[in-house]
Amino acid sequence: MLKRFSRALLIAFLLGLYFAAFSSAGAVPTASNNFELYFGPSQDRAKTIDKFFVDLIDSAKTSIDGAFFEFRLQSIVDAFIRAHKRGVKVRLVTDTDYYPNDFTTALVKAGIKVKQDNRSALMHNKFAIVDSNKLWTGSFNLTDSCSYKNNNNALCFYSKELAAIYQIEFDEMYVKNSFGITSPSTVEEQKVEISIGGEKSLVEVYFAPEDKPNEKIHELLSQAKKEIYFMHFAFTANEISDMLIDKSKSGIRVSGIFDSKLYRSTGPYSEFFKLTSADSINIVLADNPDGKFHHKVFIVDPTLPDGFVITGSENSSNNGDRTNDENVIVIHNDKVAKAYFAEFKRLFGQFSTAYATCVNLYFKPEQDIEHVSMVFNTNGKPVDKIEIGYPARWPLTGNESVRLLTIDQKPLPKGSIIFNRKGFSAVNLNLKAFGKSSFVVFDFLKMKAPKIKGGYNLYIKSASKTGDKALPLKSQPGITIADSLSNEESIHSFDQMLLKMQTSYSELLSIQENSTNSEIFEKLFKNWQNNYFEIKEVLLTDAKNRNYERIDRFLAIFVTLGAEDKKKMPGLTEGLEKILKANAAAGDEEAKSRLKKLK
């Protein structure tokens, strides 16, 4: 019987196990059963999130105040109209861009007043206040796609105090016509304690842009003691990704899921590249071919007693934080955190144990590229299929090609590469778990670097059998596009590049050790060597300024090179040696120790 449960019903059922006070799953919250949580989509059309929302609207006795980005589902429009006809006071706010559609027109014709924000920024909320005592919020738009295709979450509370907080925000928009930054902040009055599952739980609310929610999210994430998980449709907020990287470096486990479609459209503007470049952070693209991964969720310490969840309508972006009308809700309740974590784990899936490394790591905008080399290693498990997604927003001219090089020089079967619109698959590879037959080199030829600066990732999956479902790699290889690595904006890329150079050189040494074809190693080393020439000016400038932090990172790689390989970089090493000698002669003891490593 459990296999027939819809996802929304199953999550509510599981929450029922967590919350002793829960009644039947999917019920409209009441004074005694004051919280419901829903995830979608569901294969059972009788248990999709929209059905729960319609139940809420049909339960209304006196009033419904709703602020929703878009109305585009007939069943919900009908529910609003039914409520209006039975005497319920219905007031709605929506975004101007979605005001002139058939669904909004039907609401207005029925006598329901719908106010629009009349501005270019978005009225992106998705909340409703019913009878002044129930509050609905989350990531769920009132549309067919959000009901039946997109991954979403929605929450419903029975709480007069929480409803009152949202009522003030609604009245600012509907009554006072205050949208965006013109809306006053009352953030100190937006915290309540609610009993959830028999536990007194702090609930915090932040409205954008007036409350600057990203600052609070940053502060909340900094409190993580053990783990942070996130599920995000759009993620372009630098300060939040920086916090996640800092927490990961401090030993906090960080993992996340991005929407695959928006990842492809945002490309280098997304935080995907930066986060996947941090070795200890595992990121996947959502596996939802029919819809969008529409969550906006952070889950903090779900396995600890003080775990909490951050959710709502706001994507982690500057627009969401600074210009759109949004709401963010923080629920300090470990049972709610566990429920979100269960959904995260279900969607996150598994990883391949294989790994891949780009040998070329940096190019200038619109540069003509002869070769981009990537080394793939099975890392202990056989691989027969590799799926490669092209970097998002990397332009293709039609002159590109790719070839596969095996270091054991065994020819690949005819038809091993199958192209598609977003990349290609390499099949029937018969790569072994270890040894020289565990490597394959992908050589991309005649590429044109993008005009847009930023980080670009390949997205790679692998499977042990050609017919099996491919799993994503734990770390995705990437390339930086920048005018220079010496400016402040590129320092993070510079640091990542050094770390990746260290990893890729280790791979080259493995290839050199296992290969019967020295020509492959020489070609790869030549591509890898170019990375050093690109950072030459940065290192020389640092040496002149006696700033040795990045130089030490370079030297950590340099000392691992063979004698012949060191000779292939005289322009860099001689220049660095000259400056260090001058510094040492001037009494700089730190320069002397670096000189020893250069020799």
The residues that are catalytic are 124, 126, 131
Cα three-residue angle 471-473-476, rounded to 5 degrees: 140
DSSP 8-state symbol, 20: T
> Which DSSP string corresponds to 129-142?
EETTTEEEEES--E
The answer to whether the beta carbons of residues 404 and 383 sit under 8 Å apart is no
* Mode of pairing for the β-strands spanning 326-331 and 308-312: antiparallel
Please name the residue ranges forming H helices in 139-298.
144-148, 160-174, 213-222, 238-249, 260-266, 272-277
Going by C-alpha positions, the residue among 455, 311, 443 that lies closest to residue 394 is 455
Question: How far is the C-alpha of 194 from the C-alpha of 215, rounded, in Å?
Answer: 24
Cβ atoms within 10 A of the Cβ of 4, count?
9
C-alpha 133/C-alpha 148 separation (Å) is 28
The first and second tokens of residue 334, run together, are: 């470990």
Q: Specify burial of residue 417 (Cβ count, 10 A radius: 0-12, 13-18, 19+).
A: middle
CA 433 to chain CA centroid, Å, is: 31
One-letter-per-residue 3-state SS of 414-472: CCCEEEECCEEEECCCCECCCCHHHEEEEEEEEEECCCCCEEEECEEEEECCCCCCCEE
Handedness of CA 233, 239, 242, 246 (dihedral sign): negative
